[in-house]
């Protein structure tokens, strides 16, 4: 072996060792600061993790852009919805008086709330854009109760890391981390553009997460669960989206 | 006869390679990332092959322009009565992973390019070449390939047209495609609203991202055609091994 190639070999080995050690250290730091998304495994895990970690480091508390009233879309696009079930139609006929939101999991006080209970708890509005992963968008005024107010009422335990939310469509469930769950613009929405939230836009109750794409803003919300780990939910990837090939974190 | 350029490499097969290791590695990583980005980018367009200007845009609005192709969503009125399969899940994941590869590669290339003098020496137009006549001469030289000056078709160095195009791709088109792409991320826009606002809104950013990407694809096609005309394997080998073998013989057959 010539001295040159030995030197190259040693240098290459040192660089590789430094790289592996660096990645291991980065992984440890990222885990400690909650920068690893639940769907970080697999072929596209590195990209998902880099995006989630970068956005959490650079803009954890950043506010989604809000727009003047004049920019509210005249004809917002009502995305396709699954045909309502008979149970849903019965609720709709009764003006959703019997709609209930269950809050459970790692909370001091499990709750069962009607839409009126939510309205009595807190009321905020925001004019933000719904952004679909397909490329289209619209701006609307969203009126609702900040999720943080509900979580405060229920008393989430300190170890809680995710809020899981479910809808009457059992195959569509999502979760968000505490940065989004406690974010002032994350609403349980029951009003839109100064009126009730229409069924086509998710009424009577829709989660609004304006810093993420539209598929995180799940319609017809019935159930919130506070948890410290996503392992026991579905396939453990964080939500139904990664099980269908879409990213759990949809801030991009 | 064209004036001979002063090039760093005066003899073939000397220690200094045609392309440095950093240039070669970052070049091929960029190829990998760009192909993934281009293919997935066009697949993503199929889920909404309509483009708008301003902040908002959806099927209830008149588009700036649209493509008369079938869509991968049944909510888009395309005039076709069939829907393409949804490829957005893996396309989005690969698009963003490749974007990370592109950005990280670009950072390494950019730092190395300034530190090593690569931009100044190999890409910035040389003294005596910063005139319209020089551009015109270079264009004629590229077209005819019979001037006998090796550096004019890229074997030893780049002519002023090539230098200008490469600088434009590296310092205008790639930053622009990254900027307009970031302006489509709702999380990034929350943290840095200036990026999307300065472009005139989210849908403007999407339309610009599409056009800048198209310009990069045009560059890629022209780049590969020029390499094929100059000697595909000799140029490709130079970008893999760093060496130009028998360049003289090929340049002057």
- Average of per-residue pLDDT values in chain B: 87
A47 and B89: CB-CB below 8 Å?
A: no
Please give the structure tokens belonging to residue B148.
Answer: 């006998």
Chain B nearest-CA distance from A3, in A, is: 18
Q: A175 and A239 in contact (C-beta within 8 Å)?
A: yes
B75 and A133: CB-CB below 8 Å?
A: no
Q: B151 and B134 in contact (C-beta within 8 Å)?
A: no
Query: Which stretch of A54-68, A73-87, B67-81, B177-191 has the lowest confidence by average pLDDT?
Result: A73-87
The model carries a pTM of 0.90
Which tops the pLDDT comparison, A172 or B170? B170
- Quick one: pLDDT at residue A83? 66
- Quick one: pLDDT at residue B230? 86
Percent of chain A's residues with pLDDT above 70? 98
Q: A103 and A150 in contact (C-beta within 8 Å)?
A: yes
- Quick one: pLDDT at residue B149? 47
Q: Beta strand pairing status for A101-105 and A221-227?
A: parallel
Residue B15 pLDDT grade (very low, low, confident, very high; cuts 50, 70, 90): low
Q: Among partner residues A47, A79, A131, which is closest to B96 by beta-carbon distance? A: A47
Whether the CA torsion A222, A225, A229, A232 is positive or negative: it is: negative
Contacts of A242 (CB under 8 A, 6+ apart): A38, A39, A235, A248
* Separation between Cα atoms, residue A98 and residue A222, nearest integer Å: 11
Question: Which residue, chain included where needed, has tokens 């397909």?
Answer: A134
What's the whole-number mean pLDDT along residues B183-206?
A: 97
- Per residue in A52-84, pLDDT (tens digit) is 999 999 999 999 999 999 999 999 998 877 767
Q: Is A10 on the interface with B (CB under 8 A)?
A: no
Nearest to A127 by CA among A212, A210, A202: A210
Chain A nearest-CA distance from B38, in A, is: 16
Q: Which residue of B has its CA nearest to A49?
A: B97
Q: A230 and A238 in contact (C-beta within 8 Å)?
A: yes
Q: Is B114 on the interface with A (CB under 8 A)?
A: no
Q: Among partner residues B57, B61, B190, which is closest to A63 by beta-carbon distance? A: B190
- Quick one: pLDDT at residue B251? 42
Question: Which residue, chain included where needed, has tokens 């300065």?
Answer: B198
Q: Is A166 on the interface with B (CB under 8 A)?
A: no
Using the 8-state DSSP alphabet, how is residue B123 labeled? Answer: I
Nearest to A44 by CA among A216, A249, A234, A230: A249
SS3 A167: strand
Chain A nearest-CA distance from B117, in A, is: 24
B90 and A44: CB-CB below 8 Å?
A: yes
Cis amide linkage into residue A78, ω under 30° from 0: no
Q: What is the DSSP string of B17-47?
A: -SS-HHHHHHHHHHHHHHHHHHHHHHHHHTT
Rg of chain B over Cα atoms, rounded to whole angstroms, equals: 21
- Quick one: pLDDT at residue A118? 97
For domain A68-243, the CATH architecture is Alpha-Beta Complex (3.90)
Q: Is B80 on the interface with A (CB under 8 A)?
A: no
Please give the structure tokens belonging to residue A81.
Answer: 């919805």
- Per residue in A4-48, pLDDT (tens digit) is 677 778 888 888 888 889 888 888 888 888 899 999 999 999 999
Phi-psi group of B201: left, alpha or beta (phi > 0 → left; psi -120 to 50 → alpha; rest → beta):
left
Which tops the pLDDT comparison, B249 or B112? B112
b or e along A117-129 (b: 16 or more beta carbons within 10 Å of the residue's beta carbon)? ebeebbeebbbbb
Query: In terms of DSSP H, where are the helices of chain A?
Result: 3-32, 45-59, 86-93, 115-121, 147-154, 178-181, 240-243
Please give the structure tokens belonging to residue A250.
Answer: 């949809």
Query: Which stretch of A26-35, A162-171, B46-55 has the lowest confidence by average pLDDT?
Result: A26-35
SS3 B51: strand
Residues 193-232 of B with CB under 8 A from A: 193, 196-197, 202-203, 206
Q: Among partner residues B57, B97, B185, which is closest to A47 by beta-carbon distance? A: B97
- Quick one: pLDDT at residue B140? 81
A252 and B186: CB-CB below 8 Å?
A: yes
- Quick one: pLDDT at residue B48? 97
Residue B8 pLDDT grade (very low, low, confident, very high; cuts 50, 70, 90): very low
Q: Which of A137, A138, A241 is the best residue to mutate to test the B interface, defined by the most B CB atoms within 10 Å of its own CB?
A: A137
Residue B69 pLDDT grade (very low, low, confident, very high; cuts 50, 70, 90): very high
SS3 B237: helix
Q: Which of A54, A61, A136 is the best residue to mutate to test the B interface, defined by the most B CB atoms within 10 Å of its own CB?
A: A136
Q: Among partner residues B61, B202, B206, which is closest to A129 by beta-carbon distance? A: B202
pLDDT at B250 over 60: no
Chain A nearest-CA distance from B188, in A, is: 7
Sketch the domain layout of chain A as residue ranges: 68-243
Element (H, E) at B15: none
- Per residue in B91-100, pLDDT (tens digit) is 999 999 999 9
Q: Which residue of A has its CA nearest to B195?
A: A65
Give contacts of A67 with chain B, Cβ < 8 Å: 55
B251 burial class (0-12, 13-18, 19+ CB within 10 angstroms)?
A: buried
Residue A85 pLDDT grade (very low, low, confident, very high; cuts 50, 70, 90): confident
Q: Is B178 on the interface with A (CB under 8 A)?
A: no
Residue A170 pLDDT grade (very low, low, confident, very high; cuts 50, 70, 90): confident
Question: Which residue, chain included where needed, has tokens 């490469």?
Answer: B166
* Separation between Cα atoms, residue A124 and residue B95, nearest integer Å: 36
């Amino acid at each position: 072996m010539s001295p040159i190639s030995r030197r190259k070999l040693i240098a290459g080995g040192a660089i590789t060792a430094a790289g592996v050690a660096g990645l291991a250290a980065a992984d440890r730091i990222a885990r400690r600061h909650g920068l690893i998304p639940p769907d970080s495994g697999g072929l596209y895990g590195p990209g998902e993790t880099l995006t989630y970690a970068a956005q959490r480091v650079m803009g954890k508390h950043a506010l989604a852009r809000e727009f003047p009233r004049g920019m509210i879309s005249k004809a917002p696009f009502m995305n396709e919805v699954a045909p309502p079930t008979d149970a849903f139609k019965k609720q709709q006929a009764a003006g959703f008086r019997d709609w209930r939101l269950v809050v459970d999991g790692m909370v001091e006080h499990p709750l069962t709330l009607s839409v009126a209970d939510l309205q009595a708890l807190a009321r905020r509005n925001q004019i933000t854009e719904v952004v679909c992963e397909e490329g289209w968008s619209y701006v609307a005024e969203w009126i609702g109760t900040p999720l943080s107010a509900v979580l405060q009422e229920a008393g989430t335990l300190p170890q809680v890391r995710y809020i899981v939310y479910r809808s009457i469509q059992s195959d569509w469930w999502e979760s968000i981390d505490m940065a989004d769950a406690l974010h002032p613009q994350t609403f349980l929405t029951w009003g839109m553009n100064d009126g009730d939230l229409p069924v086509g836009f998710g009424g009577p109750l829709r989660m609004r997460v304006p810093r993420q794409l539209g598929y995180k803003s799940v319609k017809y919300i019935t159930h919130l669960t506070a948890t410290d780990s996503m392992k026991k939910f579905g396939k453990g990837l964080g939500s139904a989206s990664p099980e269908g090939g879409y990213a759990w974190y949809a801030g991009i | 006869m064209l004036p001979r350029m002063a090039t760093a490499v005066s003899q073939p097969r000397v220690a200094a390679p045609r392309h440095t290791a950093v240039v070669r590695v970052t070049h091929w990583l960029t190829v990998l990332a760009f192909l993934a980005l281009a293919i997935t980018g066009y697949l993503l367009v199929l889920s909404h092959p309509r483009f708008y200007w301003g902040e908002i845009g959806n099927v209830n609005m008149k588009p700036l322009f649209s493509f008369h192709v079938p869509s991968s969503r049944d909510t888009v009125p395309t005039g076709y009565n069939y829907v393409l399969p949804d490829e957005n899940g893996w396309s989005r994941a690969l698009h963003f992973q490749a974007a990370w590869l592109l950005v990280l590669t670009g950072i390494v290339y950019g730092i190395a390019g300034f530190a090593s003098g690569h931009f100044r020496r190999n890409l910035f137009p040389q003294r005596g070449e910063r005139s319209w006549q020089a551009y015109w001469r270079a264009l004629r030289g590229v077209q005819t390939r019979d001037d006998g000056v090796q550096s004019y078709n890229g074997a030893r160095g780049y002519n002023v047209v090539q230098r200008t195009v490469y600088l434009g791709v590296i310092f205008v088109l790639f930053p622009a495609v990254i900027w307009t792409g970031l302006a489509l991320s709702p999380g990034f826009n929350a943290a840095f609203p200036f990026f999307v606002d300065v472009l005139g809104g989210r849908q403007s950013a999407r339309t610009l991202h599409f056009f800048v990407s198209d310009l990069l694809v045009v560059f890629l096609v022209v780049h590969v055609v020029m390499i094929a005309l100059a000697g595909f394997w000799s140029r490709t080998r130079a970008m893999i091994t760093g060496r130009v073998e028998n360049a003289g013989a090929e340049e002057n057959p």
